[in-house]
Amino acid sequence: MKNHSNRRAVHEGGFTLIEMLIVIAVLATVTGGIFLQLDTAQQRINTEQVKVDNFDEARDFVDQFFRDINQIGYPNGRMVSFTPLINDSRVAVGLVKIDSNAIWFEGDVNGTGVVQSVQYKINGSGSCTLCLQRSQVAKVSGTDPESQATSWGTEVNDVISTPIFAYYDTNGNAMTTLPADIDSNGSTLATIKTIHISLTIQNSAVLDPKTRQPIQTAFEGEVSLNNCSMAATGTGISCQ
């Protein structure tokens, strides 16, 4: 009877050391897997947030561009009683200069009756090679449209797309002669009806945890020129 009790006590004593080590190893593996999944999920959340932030930045910038373009060439030569001149601050000439990564135009973009000289350009200030920047200044009478001053402000960063701007006439044909400006190619500018903008933003400092590649965000849009303007030297009318 005594030996039987001892054997039962040994049998009911609990887990052996090896069993405990196995349990700990399994728990460690499971816990490590859970934390790895949590870390991956957090990285994905951060990645998506970067994409959302980049998209919102691009969208806000493009919205500003669309608002500006809607006022391009306003007020134009047809709206005034005097004989308009290309360097008269009371009249917006419309498009001043276009290129694949830059556009320059005039219009009452503030709705105040004051014509503004507006530019969108990669590295307009000369100090930000991957920034698409915006400049806006009041047009000065007696100064050629291409000689108006600049004041660079709003910008969108990490832009890698090129070309950014594409230009089309009323028949949908792409403008291939770039750059073009009002002094040399006024009649060419007068044929432009639609402008397409394409932004691709790449944040090289943040990698996608799945692809291990820099995060890219793309945004595109298209806008038509609504107001006729003095796109050609003298009183030529665009938006025909």
Instruction: Assign 39 a pLDDT band (cuts: 50, 70, 90).
Output: low
Residues 6+ apart with CB under 8 A from 99: 165, 178, 179, 180
pLDDT of residue 132: 92
Q: What is the pLDDT of residue 38?
A: 66
On whether residue 190 sits in a domain, the answer given is yes
pLDDT value, residue 2: 53
Q: Return the pLDDT at 111.
A: 85
Question: Which pLDDT belongs to residue 104?
Answer: 94
Distances (CA, A) of 234 to 64, 144, 169, 190, 230: 29, 12, 21, 12, 7
Number of structural domains (the chain) is 1
**Which pLDDT score is estimated for 236?**
44
pLDDT for res 152: 94
What is the structure's pLDDT at 79? 59
Residue 24 lies in a domain: no
Q: Is residue 17 part of a domain?
A: no
pLDDT at 205: 74
Which domain, by its residues, includes 172? Answer: 42-224
| Residue 100, Ramachandran bin (φ over 0: left; ψ between -120 and 50: alpha; else beta) | alpha
pLDDT, tens digit, for every residue of 162-217? Answer: 999 999 988 889 988 899 888 887 777 888 889 999 989 887 777 776 777 888 88
In which residue are the tokens 């995060």 written? 215
pLDDT digits (tens, 9 = 90+) for 75-106: 776 656 555 677 888 888 888 999 999 999 99
In a domain, 101, yes or no: yes
| Average of per-residue pLDDT values in the chain | 80
**223 compared with 211, residue with greater pLDDT:** 223
Between 14 and 132, whose confidence is greater? 132
The answer to whether residue 58 sits within a structural domain is yes
Gap between the Cα atoms of 155 and 159, Å rounded:
10
pLDDT of 15 over the 90 cut? no
pTM over 0.85? The answer is no
Contact assessment for residue 105 and residue 136, using Cβ atoms and an 8 Å cutoff: no
Q: What's residue 105's pLDDT?
A: 92
Overall average pLDDT of the 48-58 stretch: 76
Question: Residue 236 falls within a domain, yes or no?
Answer: no
Q: What's the number of CA atoms in the CB half-sphere (13 Å) around residue 81?
A: 0
Domain annotation covers residue 12: no
For residue 166, being part of any structural domain is answered with yes
